[in-house]
Amino acid sequence: MRGAGVSSRGGRGVDGGHPQPPETRRVITLTHGMVLAAGLGLRMRPLTDATAKPLLTLDGRTLLDHALDRLAAAGIGQAVVNAHWCADQVAAAVAGRDSPRIALQREDALLETGGGVARALPLLGDGPFAVANGDSVWLDGPRQALGRMAAAFDPAQMDALLLVVRSAQVDGDIGRGDFLLDPLGRVRRPRERELAPYVFAGVQILTPGMFRNTPGGKFSLNILYDRAIDSGRLFALVHDGVWFHLSTPPDLDRAEAALRAGLVRALF
């Protein structure tokens, strides 16, 4: 199925991500989150010529609403949404939402992923927080993905926890994949000519401390991922539900067709 990544295996190690937390460790509570909605969506043209990519629709709702719905379902009450391209449209789209409560962050100049989150830090609380890409649409498996991530997140060991899907289950243009995981879910990048079995799903838990000594203004979260990899503090959890790869208009069409056919909902 092009445009969807499906995984239904759980447990410890690579397939389940980080092992379940011991009873002596307190599970974090996610109260704050952010949806990144400021990008130009160039690969989705011409659909994004006059609208922001997160405002494109899938199954009758905008991609942005899909992401915000998942945050709200996970108990996140406060969220930041950043906006640049077609910012007025994004502002109008979030104005009517009651949950989560939205703070709109307008960006006159693109700050990229890292710069956008760094600017929003004063609005994201004191503890770990969730960040989702504005075009990330996922369906939960047996448990909520964000709930699984919160249960697996250990601030003593982690700067960030990424949600990933298996490359083999994504029928789309994903290049060589994004990451490899060790048996505990610790992340590394592929070496030259190496294929990575996992793709980043655009959903993550980050810590404020990860942003110490970051560049001012525009920068990518990839800079912070690399720092965390070097210190052994970047981990990933394998998604056990459905994730849609939405990069180009055909991806969006195929995802819509899959949902209309009922196959995805029959599985989950």
- Check residue 85 and report its DSSP letter: T
For residue 55, what pLDDT is reported? 97
For residue 15, what pLDDT is reported? 52
Evaluate whether residue 25 is within a structural domain: no
Evaluate whether residue 23 is within a structural domain: no
Evaluate whether residue 156 is within a structural domain: yes
CATH code (residue 37)? 3.90.550.10
Q: Got the DSSP string for 112-174?
A: HHHHHHHHHGGGS-SS-EEEEETT-EEE--SS-HHHHHHHH--TTT-SEEEEEEEGGG-BS--
Task: Please answer whether residues 83 and 37 qualify as being in contact, where contact means their C-beta atoms are separated by less than 8 angstroms.
Answer: yes
For 45, the domain range is: 4-17+30-267
Please give the tally of structural domains in the chain. 1
**Collapsed DSSP state (helix, strand, coil) of residue 190:** coil
The pLDDT tens digits for 30-86 are: 999 999 999 999 999 999 999 999 999 999 999 999 999 999 999 999 999 999 999
The pLDDT tens digits for 231-253 are: 999 999 999 988 988 999 999 99
Evaluate whether residue 24 is within a structural domain: no
The pLDDT tens digits for 2-36 are: 344 333 333 333 455 444 444 556 789 999 999 99
Evaluate whether residue 181 is within a structural domain: yes
Q: Whole-angstrom Cα distance, residue 11 to residue 169?
A: 19
Evaluate whether residue 255 is within a structural domain: yes
Evaluate whether residue 190 is within a structural domain: yes
The pLDDT tens digits for 95-142 are: 988 899 999 999 999 999 999 999 999 999 999 999 999 999 999 988
Among 161-165, 196-200, 244-248, 264-268, whose mean pLDDT is lowest?
264-268
pLDDT over 90 at 185, yes or no:
yes
Evaluate whether residue 88 is within a structural domain: yes
